[in-house]
Chains A and B, each alone.
Chain A
Amino acid sequence: MTNVIEQLINGLRTGSIYALIALGYTMVYGIAKMINFAHGDIIMVGAYLLYVFIDIFKLPIILSVVLTIVMCSLIGVFIEKVAYKPLRKAAPLSVLITAIGVSFFLQNASLLIFSANPIKFESIIKVNAVHIGNVSIAGITIVTFIVTSIAMVLLTSFIKYTKTGYAMRAVSEDKGAAQLMGINVNRTISITFAIGSLLAAIAGILFLSQYQSLKPTMGALPGIKAFVAAVLGGIGSIPGAMLGGLALGVIESISKAYISSQLSDAIVFSVLILVLLVKPTGLLGKNFIEKV
């Protein structure tokens, strides 16, 4: 029993990181109607930035974390401006291929700068484990839960109550009508990329603190799993991304513990196929017919 609970907690920890990343996929999809496959690599960029600030420039931890998040945001906005904005009117397939290109570019740029050898990194999170009965919860797990919960509450309130949040929801529903309200659609898309990349940077920092090792492809797998999470929850839906992320984390951790650790990735990706077959709109996605 204790074991099951610990596995569940592990699953929720990984799942909440997936959820943070999935939010970026789902928000960008909602507003720009594109799958940003380079999104996962922002995690890697964030991890390397944190490493550079802390281990190379020897900056204080808090400052490094803030700088990492800000820089990832700016990089996200920059990528959108340079790679995706010129394709606003292009076919969806061109945009998708461009996103994959950006992903390769980011991975190879870091390969060039840092080489393929994994770099060790000492976790910046030093919180003691907590024991409840027989169950022990690692410090990193507690910090991950707190950080992701705060991020999700802030994001939800931002979208629900601020003027920019209103604008984001309006643009995701109808760009033309949003423009008639006086909303600057390009600016709103930039803000969405900034927020998505900010969340990916936080995910990158938490991910690095957990695995304590860097390599240029480290963002690819969590990125693609978070994409599965976003589809599972219903792409375009923010609560869906949160739920999908947590569900996927638990599925992964349970299958690692009780089915097979080698097959766990396969099981996770089978979830994607299953969702696409049974309920393509995802758990919380809406069943709407696109008007022609």
Chain B
Amino acid sequence: MALLTVKDLSVHYGMIQAIKNISFEVNEGEVIALIGANGAGKTTILHTITGLVPASAGVIEYEGPCNSNLLKTPPHEIVSLGMAHVPEGRRVFAELTVYENLKLGAYTRKDKNEIEEMLNNVYKRFPRLEERKKQAAGTLSGGEQQMLAMGRALMSCPKIILMDEPSMGLSPILVSEIFDIIKEISESGTTVLLVEQNAKKALSIADRAYVLETGKIVLEGKASDLLNDESVKKAYLGE
């Protein structure tokens, strides 16, 4: 069943059309990768879904507790529909402590026991965060900030989690660690929409993928097929 359906989406930045009539869907339980070069429009798509950037045309349907067109939902109400967004560049609140960042992740949650339980889950998944819970988030390393951004998103108990370039700027060991965690998150039942420049890693954990080029989807299919596709190999896998 499609959890998220994007239909004929267009986005403009002033005169420039960044997204050109894109359609795709994300089914419940899947890991979907959006891959493509810098400037292809991957981040813009995620920003449009969670309302940080307005769309100029199209529909984004989301099968949450109530069927909704996300383009007509105020941005701050989207997270309570069960959608969390780990933004590009982590964007943790640098002056707040790790603990405060995580609490903000559960901002829309009211049940104190549930928040406590999620906090314990996040600490279990990312023991480093518990060690540093009283530290300002700005003092963490890049990898730790990425973990904090992911933990913060998990605090809202999302049905679907959007991740934007989680591997950016991290060492190869950390990249593998982050992708293992994404796999774990997916295995625990959360749907994942992943935007990545590291196409190889992304395709290795994704079920299906869409390849973007200058605002258009040029290729789509099963991730395992795309991994072996000659044009993808040439353009994105450096083979």
Contact = CB atoms under 8 A, between A and B. Distances in A.
Give the one of B52, B93, B103 with max A CB within 10 A.
B93
Interface string A162-174: 0100110110011
A141 B89 CA distance: 50
Interface residues of A, number: 17
A178 B95 CA distance: 13
A180 B95 contact: no
B52 A180 contact: yes
Interface stretch (A15-23, A40-48, A182-190): A182-190
A182 B93 contact: no
A181 B84 CA distance: 8
Given A166-B103, A166-B104, A179 B93 contact: no
Contacts of B85: 180
27 contacts: A163-B107, A166-B96, A166-B107, A169-B96, A170-B93, A170-B104, A173-B93, A174-B91, A176-B91, A177-B87, A177-B91, A177-B92, A179-B50, A180-B50, A180-B79, A180-B85, A180-B91, A181-B104, A181-B107, A181-B152, A181-B156, A182-B79, A182-B107, A182-B108, A182-B156, A183-B107, A184-B74
Interface of B: 50-52, 74-80, 84-85, 87, 91-96, 100, 103-105, 107-108, 152, 156
A166 B91 contact: no
Contacts of B95: 169, 173
Which 8 A-B residue pairs are closest in the complex by CB-CB distance?
Answer: A182-B108, A182-B79, A177-B91, A184-B76, A179-B75, A181-B107, A182-B107, A181-B104
B76 A182 contact: yes
B73 to A, nearest CB: 12
Given A170-B93, A174-B91, A181-B152, 14 more contacts: A163-B107, A167-B104, A169-B100, A173-B96, A176-B91, A178-B104, A180-B50, A181-B105, A181-B107, A182-B79, A182-B107, A183-B76, A183-B104, A184-B76
A174 B108 CA distance: 18
A177 B107 contact: no
A183 B52 CA distance: 13
B76 A179 contact: yes
A179 B103 CA distance: 14
A192 B93 CA distance: 19
